[in-house]
A and B are shown apart, each in its own frame.
Chain A
C-alpha cells in the first residue's frame, strides 16, 4: 500500500491507524484508508470482522480510541460538533430503523426540521422531491408498517438524503431484499455517486458488491487485509484470508 503516514486533507475521507477497543477486545486494528469524493466503497469480510464497527466510527456513533479520522481535511474527534458531522455523514441501518409512529413524509422531514430548523412546509417539499427520486413518491402519507421491505429501504435512504449528506454509510442494505429490490438499490447508489455522494457499504451479497464497488475493502479480525478493485478481488484476491473467504462463499 502506498499511503502516506499523514492523513491527506485533499481526500473526502482519510483514515490513519484507526483503532477501536471494546474493553480489552480489539474490534478495529490500525485501519488505513483514503476515499475520494463520489467513490463507492464496499466493505466485505466474515461475520465479526469489524465491518459495522468500522462504518459506525465514520459518523462517530462509535467513537474511535486512537488513530486519525479526517473528513474533508477536518479531523474528527471528541471536539467535533456531532450535529454538523452527522449532517455530512448519513447512515442507513440494516433493519432501516424507520420511525414507526411517523408517516413516510414525516420520517424524512423530522430531522431537517429539528436539526436544521427548516420550516415544515419547506422540509416536506424537499422530502417529497427526494421520495420521488428514490421512486416511492406515492407512499408519502403511509406509515412504515404498511410498506414492503424494499420500500422501507428506500425510505431509509430518502431519510438520510434529506439531510443533504456528502457521505452515506450503508450497513447491509440488501440483507432483507429480493433480487429485484437489490437491483433498485444498485440504481439508487449509482445515482448517488453520479451526484458526487460518497458511499461506504457493508454487505454480504457478492453480486451486489461486484455491481456497485469502485474498490473493495476486505476486513478480517479487525484489520484491513486488502483493498482491491472488484474484478481483481473476485478473480485473483491478494490475501490468503480473502481467498479462503471467497471459497467459503462459493461453497455456500
Chain B
C-alpha cells in the first residue's frame, strides 16, 4: 500500500513537472500582463457569446469557454470584458483588451489593422421566415429589405451586390441596420425585413429558441465569411503563440467538445424545433424580470449614474454661472466656449470620445482605473454642466439686484449674501428646469451602454438577446424608468411646497 502510494505521488509529481515544462514551452503572448488574459466581447451573439441567465455578469458561450481554455494553456487568469460591438476594436487599439473574441469573422480588411487567428469554421447565411423560398444568389434579393447588424461587414457585401444590380438596371437591396443580432432577427419575425444576414451557428441556436420560425434561404460561399477569428494587435510573435495555443486545443479535442456543448456541430443543422413559439406577452417573464436582481442592479446603476453626474454638474456649473453673470473678464469667452461646445456636441459622441479617443492621446486613460463608470460619470457631468450653467445663469439673473444691494447695505459679506439671500431665491427659480434636466439625464444614461456601462437599458438588451422576449423585457425596463421618474416628480412637488413664501395664497395657508 505504502509503495503504491509513494509511486502515485511520484507519478503525479512527474506529470505536474511535464505539464509545467510544456506550459513554459508555450510562452504567453505579450498582451497578457500580470498573469491576466483580457478579452473583449459583445455578449449578444448566442451561442458564441451571450449572457446566460438573469445575471448580467453570467457570460457564457463557445467564445467565453474558449478564452478560459486558452488562458489555461498559458496558466493565465482570464478576464472577460463586455462592451458594445462598435467599442471592441477601438478598445483593442487603445490596449484596453488584449484580444477581441466575439463571434467575429476573419476578414482581409480587418487583418490590415489587426492580426486574426481563426478558431472555428462557420458560414454566412441569409435567413428569412420559414416558408420563404430558397434563393441561389444575392441578386434575387433585389428590391427587398435586408436587416443586418451595425458594425458587421455584411453591409459592404451588399454594397458590392448593389453596384452590380445597378449596372443591370435593377433595384438595389435595401439595408436596415440594427445594433444587435437579436434585433436583426426580430425585424424578420415582424415582417419588416424580408431577410437578415447572420452566421449559421447563430441560426442553429435561434431555430431552437424561435420554434422554427426562421429558416436559411441562402448559404453563399464567400471567403471572408468562413472562419470565426480571435483578433489581437499586430504582432507576429503573439500571433504565432496564439495560433499554437489554438492548435493545441484542437489537437486535444477541446474545440470539438465545445462545439458539441454549444450545439453548433453540423449534425444538428436540421434538428426539429423542440419548443413551441413564444406567446405574445408572458406575464410571468415580465414579472420575474421586473423583480430580478439584474434589473434592480441596472436601475440602481442608472439612478446612481444620473444622480452623481447631476450633482457634479451642478457643482461645476455654479461658479461658471457666477463668472459669466459677473463683471467682464478674460475667462468669460473661455467659459462661453465650454458651454457652447458641450451643449452643441451630441452626448453619445462625447461618451465615445472620452472612452475611445482620449486614451489615444493620453495613455494614462488606458489603465484599468479608467472604468466605463468613471468615463460615463465624467462625460455626463461635463455635458449636463453646460445645460445647468444656462439654468443657473437665468435663475441668478432673475433674483432682483436690490436683494444683494439690501444685504450688502446691512454689512453682509459677499459669501453670506450668496448663501443666505441670493441662492435660496435662485433655487426656487432653478428647481423646475433642473428636475426636468435630471429626468432627461436619467434617460440619457442609457447611452452609456455603448461604453459597456451595465445600466438599465444595457441589462434589458442583454436579456432580450438571450431570450428573444422583447415585449416582456422592454415593458419591465419601462416600468423601472417610469417608477424612478415619478419618484423624482414627487420629490419636486415636496420641495416646491417649501417655497410658500413666493405665493401669497399659499403663504397664508402656511400660517393657518
Contacts and interface: CB of A to CB of B under 8 A. Distances in A.
Interface string B486-512: 000000000000011111100110010
Contacts of B499: 101
B403 interface: yes
B420 interface: yes
A110 to B, nearest CB: 6
Interface size class of A (residues with CB under 8 A): 20 to 34
Interface in B383-439: 400, 402-403, 405-413, 416, 420-421, 424-425, 428
B410 A145 contact: no
A115 B507 contact: no
A114 B408 CA distance: 12
Contact of A59 (B409, B500, B501): B409
A155 to B, nearest CB: 12
A100 B425 contact: yes
Contacts of A102: 501
B402 A95 contact: yes
Interface of A: 59, 61, 82-87, 90-91, 93, 95, 97-102, 110-111, 114-115, 141-146, 159-160, 163
Contacts of A141: 511
A83 B405 CA distance: 13
B412 A114 contact: yes
A142 B511 contact: yes
B405 A97 contact: yes
Contacts of A111: 407, 410-412
Contact of A145 (B400, B411, B425, B502): B502
25 contacts: A82-B408, A83-B413, A86-B408, A87-B411, A93-B402, A93-B406, A95-B402, A97-B403, A97-B405, A100-B425, A100-B502, A101-B424, A101-B428, A111-B407, A111-B410, A111-B412, A114-B413, A114-B420, A115-B413, A142-B507, A142-B511, A143-B500, A145-B504, A145-B507, A160-B410
Interface residues of B, number: 27
Contacts of A87: 411
Contacts of B400: 97
Contact of B503 (A90, A98, A145): A145
A170 B274 CA distance: 91
Contacts of B408: 61, 82, 86
B411 A143 contact: no
Nearest to B408: A61
A115 B410 contact: yes
B502 A159 contact: no
Nearest to B504: A145
Given A145-B507, A146-B504, A146-B508, A163 B425 contact: no
A83 B411 CA distance: 4
Contact of A114 (B409, B416, B428, B504): B416
A59 B420 CA distance: 21
Contact of B409 (A91, A101, A143, A145): A91
Contacts of A85: 411
Contacts of A86: 408-411
Given A110-B420, A142-B507, A146-B508, A100 B413 contact: no
